[in-house]
């Protein structure tokens, strides 16, 4: 189960790092479209939050320093994906809503499993 969790964590981290980076430095071709739908300050906020969440899914678990941050990162991703799913549903973007719903389920799985079933032990813990 630990290997499955690591695979899901890495997949989530890659997805949220890429999406966060897209918000932080959007290609010129889509920047105008992004600015029309969300204010730039909110895009920057989401980009930073998503990149930090991606790092939080991996780094604390690898180093075993503050491993509880993995659960908190997954919880933060859950908040973002619930909001994104609602936004996509309001806009009628069903395929995007389905993708964010799958990401929500993955994040909830990681959060629950790392909190209750297969927690990562802190460095030096018995």
Q: Does the residue 123 lie in any domain? A: no
pLDDT tens, per residue, the chain with 126 residues? 999 999 999 999 999 999 999 999 999 889 888 888 899 999 999 999 999 999 999 999 999 999 999 999 999 999 999 999 999 999 999 999 999 999 999 999 999 999 999 999 999 876
Whole-structure pTM over 0.75, yes or no?
Answer: yes
CA pair distance 118, 121, nearest whole angstrom: 9
Counted domains in the chain = 1
What pLDDT sits at residue 37?
86
Q: Does the residue 122 lie in any domain? A: no
Name the nearest CA neighbour of 76 among 36, 22, 20. Answer: 20
Range of the domain at 37: 2-117
Q: Does the residue 16 lie in any domain? A: yes
Q: Does the residue 125 lie in any domain? A: no
């Amino acid at each position: 189960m630990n290997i499955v969790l690591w695979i899901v964590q890495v997949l989530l981290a890659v997805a949220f790092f890429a999406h966060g980076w897209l918000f932080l430095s959007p290609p010129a071709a889509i920047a105008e479209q992004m600015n029309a739908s969300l204010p730039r300050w909110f895009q920057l906020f989401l980009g930073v939050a998503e990149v930090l969440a991606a790092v939080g899914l991996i780094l604390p678990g690898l180093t075993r320093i503050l491993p509880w941050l993995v659960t908190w990162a997954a919880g933060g991703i859950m908040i973002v994906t619930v909001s994104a799913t609602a936004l996509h549903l309001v806009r009628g973007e069903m395929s995007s809503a389905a993708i964010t719903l799958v990401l929500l389920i993955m994040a909830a799985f990681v959060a629950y499993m790392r909190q209750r079933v297969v927690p990562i032990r802190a460095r030096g813990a018995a």
